[in-house]
Structure 1
Amino acid sequence: MKKLHLLLIAGAWNFTACQNAPKTTTATDSAQAAVNADGYYEASLAAASSPGRLIGLTLKTTNDAEMTTDYLNSTPEIVQMGNWSALDSGKYLITLVTVGSGNPQKDSLIFKQDGNDLRYIGDDYGSDGLTLIKKEKPAPTTKQLIIWVKNEAECDRGPGFGKTKCYDVVYGDKLLPDAKWDRLSEPIDSFTYEKGNIYKLKVNRIPRDPRIQDVGAYEYKLAEVISKEKAK
């Protein structure tokens, strides 16, 4: 009987020790966190020179990442592409490059999971910080842009897609003397360019059906010719 009593005590002690053993983060835990993190996140912030900033972050199950910053004005969104990975303690490393900037330098951001949301760890977003709320990704909508046009050319869409009109453009309400001209590789429907002029246009950027986005995610339609001046 005494021997049986000792065995019962030992068994109870071992059970308690197992229950109280500290939990460690395993590769499985990190993988599960990574699965839970994928989705779309969004936040609205104030901005000094525009009506505001709408920031959207998409984390895909393939570990691809996309961040867009829309200043809610007449310019296109800033698009950053890259990848993401799960760290320990519910943190995520997101590495991004700005599309079309010509700058290969990567931005590295660290977020910490806060319930279903992501909270940025760092100083880049000022004293208010940045918390991205997880939600359903909204469908693309038409956006009205202000576009300055100074040149028209013919661009190749790529193998099998033929050629199209393209333009040297600047986006936004003001054209500064040192403005950097970008290339818009899409025609502007209903717009006729006359050589030697600089145009200020109001243009509707319309999302294309995802099934035909091999030729570009958007189409452009002229809404108004705001001004037309001789190029200097």
Structure 2
Amino acid sequence: MKAATTLRNPSSPKLIEELANKIQAKIFAGEFPPGTRLKQELLAQEFDVSRTPIREALSRLEAKGIVSQAQHRSAVVRAPSSREISEMYQVRAELEGLAAQLCARWITDQQLAELRISHDEFVQAVKDLRERDAEQRAKASRADPKWFEHAAERWIEMNARFHKTINDASNNRFLARTILDVTSGYARSVMLSSALGMNSFRIESNITHHERILKALEDREPARARRAMVDHILESGEFVIASFANLTPEE
């Protein structure tokens, strides 16, 4: 249900701050991924206000570096900088590296079996992605523009399941919750955006990394499991940085 904000002063600092927080929350939740145009008229309708406070709210988000807007153009959700991505993946690498280290000590045989199934499903998702890619290239004139996004979401879902199994098996619930916070919302949106530019080398690299991690866990070698996970996450971060660097800047 829409909030009854139409009777409030559109210049009210409190209203503008409230709108800025709501739009920011949607961005961080992944509802507005990087590159999304935020049209003032649509946001005004959604929040039941005039365009004036929406415009001011977007200006506040621009000041925070969350959106960018050229003159007479809609605001755009800004892609993260190379530094922001690098810092995000550095933290994630250390957290998930620790989870893999602990997992090698605590994982049960049943959890190992579940992890193997997760990996097999990940490999199948990659296979399906390739097959759909070949099909779409063969009939490019009739290609569904959304097909790759759906396939990439499936790939990310299977990847997340593999990592979640390891995090849960670390036997450290606080660590697992912290990793979930770091890899959800806006971070997941960044991953999906970068996945749209992944190639066969990137896909094969993911499979190889997962197999190394799984083998270290099956051998119950904590140090090797940690190193394999850290290498995997850091290389993933490098790919994401390269992917966003290839995006054409908005004019």
Q: Structures share a fold, TM > 0.5?
A: no
Larger RCO: Structure 1 or Structure 2 (Cα < 8 Å, ≥ 6 residues apart)?
2
- Compute the TM-score of the two structures, normalised by the length of structure 2: 0.28
Give the helix-richer structure, 1 or 2: 2
Give the strand-richer structure, 1 or 2: 1
- Compute the TM-score of the two structures, normalised by the length of structure 1: 0.29
